[in-house]
Structure 1
Amino acid sequence: MKNPILSVLSFLLDKIFIFIKLKSKCSSVTDKNGNKYETSLFKRGDLLEVPRTLFVHFGIYLGENRVAHLIPDILPAITRNKASIKNMVTNKRLIAGVLAKVASVRVDTVHDFAYGGDIIINHMDQSISNKPLCGEEVAQRAEKLVGATSYSLLWDNCEHFVTYCRYGIPVSLQTDKDNKGTVKLRKKIDEV
């Protein structure tokens, strides 16, 4: 006959070891401002949102602490120097990109993408009628689009980029609402 106390202790120890194993697999990134991003919560192909003061910035998680996101940027339009383009986009570059209507889909770290803000994961899944594509297809679509591209605040922004990658349709809920609040499809991006 087994001792019930030993059985309970053995069971509890097993659960504690499982918890410790899971905890050790978690990975997080802390930015220079002390903001911690638990990257173990992100899956390849997740749609990430970072609320800002006037708008929300969007990206696609590619895995390994990398996020693809479309950001206005003048530099890819005026130079091919990959080292200077790779540097994080400054406000001057961003504003010049908006005015010149040029951008780039770039891959940055999670904390460079979030820029100190909180990250929301797959929140748009509740707002878009199309079902999300599988995570690998979403990430591959984002990776294929990396590089210089055109930009329009209303018709070709970071939200259009991520909704195309995740749902197959380029939509911006921030900019495409009509008077009734229904989403209008502004333009369709051809398959890459």
Structure 2
Amino acid sequence: MGNVPAGPSKPINVVLSRSEILPGDHIYTSRGAYDHHGIYIGENRVIHFQNSVEGTSFASSTHPFGPCSVCGYHSGMSGVVLTCLDCFLHAGNICRYEYGVKPGLSTFLPASPERKWCTAVSCDPPEIVIRRARDLLKDGFGTYNLLWNNCEHFAIFCKTGQYMPLQGGQVNWTLDMLQPFISFPAAVFVLGGNRN
């Protein structure tokens, strides 16, 4: 795994144009209170993972009169889904989740906004990423859970072949919100820190 080497530090959380995204990219878009993640597979299509509530509310607001005429996306679709880029974005911007980012002081501090959109973990080549996403479209990715099995975990798994529940931005955001209420030793324990 991890055949794509870590490169020099990259700009994080940059809005991209459609021409800048490549097949196999882990992309995300803001949907207000949260970011939605998926794998761009080319030809204006994205494979992503969503819960039934998200699928119902999102589809009914983007296509109130029936399924999308481009991809067939409709209200009530949940689990791993294949949609057009427009249905995935829901009028939002495209950003790319970066892999192989060299850790820096600001990148992984709890208060750093960049911590949500990058990882030091390297990723696999695009053809493997797309194959994983297509396999999960067929086989599923389990039951959606906001903290432990969500769209970001799905995209990270597609990119790396590893399930990393504590790697995601939603988990980091939740831990950041809880930080004032838990002591430092408890936070180290929860995050699996080394006591040496």
Going from structure 1 to structure 2, the CA distance change for 1:184 and 1:132 (only over 3 Å counts) comes to farther
Unmatched 5+ stretches in structure 2: 1-15, 56-66, 102-117
* Structure with max Cα Rg: 1
Q: Contact (CA 8 Å) 2:99, 2:120: kept in 1 or not? A: no
Quote the offset at 1:167 in angstroms: 2.2
Structure 1 residues 184 and 63 mapped into 2: Cα distance closer, same or farther (>3 Å)? farther
Q: What residue identity is the alignment partner of 1:158?
A: C
Higher relative contact order, chain-length normalized (CA < 8 Å, sep 6+)? 2
C-alpha distance in structure 2 between counterparts of 1:156 and 1:110, whole Å: 22
Count of matched residue pairs:
132
Residue 166 in structure 1 maps to residue 156 in structure 2 = no
Q: Which has the higher strand share?
A: 1
Matches within 5 A, 1:2-151: 38-73=17-52, 87-90=72-75, 93=76, 103-123=78-98, 125-126=100-101, 127-147=118-138, 148=140, 149-151=142-144
TM-score by length of 1: 0.57
Cα RMSD (Å): 3.2
Alignment deviations for residues 16-64 of structure 1 (CA, whole Å, 9 cap, x no partner): xxxxxxxxxxxxxxxxxxxxx8433221100111012111000101011
Deviation at 1:88, TM superposition (A): 2.7
Aligned partners of 1:54 and 1:125: how far apart in 2? 27
In structure 1, the residue corresponding to 2:149 is in which secondary structure? coil
Letter in 1 for 2:97: N
Partners of 2:85 and 2:154 in 1: how far apart? 17
**Separation (CA, whole Å) in 1 of partners of 2:156 and 2:79:** 16
Runs of 4+ in structure 1 off by over 6 angstroms are 180-183
User: Structure 1 160/119 Cα, relative in aligned 2: closer, same or farther at 3 Å?
Assistant: same
| Percent of matched pairs sharing the same residue | 28
Distance of 2:21 and 2:191 partners within structure 1 = 29
